[in-house]
Amino acid sequence: MGEHSGRVAIVTGGAKGIGGAIADRLAAAGAAIAVFDVDDQAAQARVEALRESGVPAHAWHVDVSSRSDVEAAVDAAEQELGPAHILVNNAGMIVFGSLLDCKDEDWDRMLAVDLFGVFVCTQTVGRRMVANGIKGAIVNIGSTASMKPAPQQFAYCVAKAGVKMVSDFAAAELIEHGIRSNTVAPMGAVTDINRELLADPAVMRALEAALPSGRLATADEIAAAAVWLCSDDAAYVSGATILHDAAALTHAIWWR
């Protein structure tokens, strides 16, 4: 019996990577898990592993950039598992490129998945939380790119800056209903989003040398911060952003 026993958590992009680690940690704290993801195979594997350990879990094929996908899955999850107490907006992808080279279709796709997806999930689940009288917790996975431009990540930085504002806005608007909203802004961990890029030892060495801690985080370390924000220990925390970067942004310039 964990603190989330009897609660339902929706984790977008919960099939693998950081979202997978968040789903596992929330399940360990007692929550039933709804995975919304486009990777059906990985999502199915995740929920089967959770079910084997006795956790109620179900996966829905959801492209978070589709309002109809999101609304249908929120309905289905409520019927199958019960109303959501926790929403983790984690699903994301990246199209690399500079401002000068950014194509309209790359901009559109990045903002559709990484920003509209966060808006539509927050709105759909937020409306249900209010209607159900649930004092829920929403956690949004931003990035250090929410705060600072990163080379070759133009549209991603714009989308992630927007994620922080959706999160802050939800905190301001929903606190009267007892609903909290917070952001985790990770520097990074090796996951499918960057595995190919970081497989080049020279790229990895340069990145580690640039980081004051000398290493990336693990997906589970990022998940720990997100899951703490969902916890009752964080009952008075809303509108916050946890900069999860081992001082990388703080260190910049003066300590170089």
Ligand X SMILES: NC(=O)c1ccc[n+]([C@@H]2O[C@H](COP(=O)([O-])OP(=O)(O)OC[C@H]3O[C@@H](n4cnc5c(N)ncnc54)[C@H](O)[C@@H]3O)[C@@H](O)[C@H]2O)c1
> Which residues contribute to the site for ligand X (CB under 6 A)?
12-13, 15-19, 37-39, 62-65, 90-93, 113, 141, 143, 186, 188-189, 191-194
Q: Toward ligand X, which CB reaches closer, 191 or 238?
A: 191
Residues with catalytic roles: 156
Q: Whole-number minimum distance, CB 206 to ligand X, in Å?
A: 15
Q: Whole-number minimum distance, CB 87 to ligand X, in Å?
A: 13
Q: Toward ligand X, which CB reaches closer, 81 or 113?
A: 113
Write phi, then psi, for 221 (nearest 5 degrees): -65, -40
Q: Toward ligand X, which CB reaches closer, 134 or 142?
A: 142
Q: Whole-number minimum distance, CB 177 to ligand X, in Å?
A: 25
User: What are the DSSP calls for the chain, one per residue?
Assistant: --TTTT-EEEEETTTSHHHHHHHHHHHHTT-EEEEEES-HHHHHHHHHHHHHTT--EEEEE--TT-HHHHHHHHHHHHHHT-S-SEEEE-------B-TTT--HHHHHHHIIIIIIHHHHHHHHHHHHHHHHT---EEEEE--GGGTS--TTBHHHHHHHHHHHHHHHHHHHHHGGGT-EEEEEEE--B-STTTHHHHTSHHHHHHHHHHSTTSS-B-HHHHHHHHHHHHSGGGTT--S-EEEESTTHHHHTTTT-
- The alpha carbon of residue 222 and the mean position of all alpha carbons in its chain are separated, in whole angstroms, by 10
Q: Toward ligand X, which CB reaches closer, 146 or 238?
A: 146
CB contact at 8 A, 216 and 158 = no
Q: Whole-number minimum distance, CB 215 to ligand X, in Å?
A: 12
Q: Whole-number minimum distance, CB 6 to ligand X, in Å?
A: 26
Q: Toward ligand X, which CB reaches closer, 33 or 62?
A: 62
Q: Whole-number minimum distance, CB 178 to ligand X, in Å?
A: 26
Between the CA of residue 13 and those of 16, 99, 143, 211, what are the distances in Å? 7, 27, 15, 27
182 residue type, one letter: N
Q: Toward ligand X, which CB reaches closer, 55 or 248?
A: 248
Token pair for residue 153? 């990540």
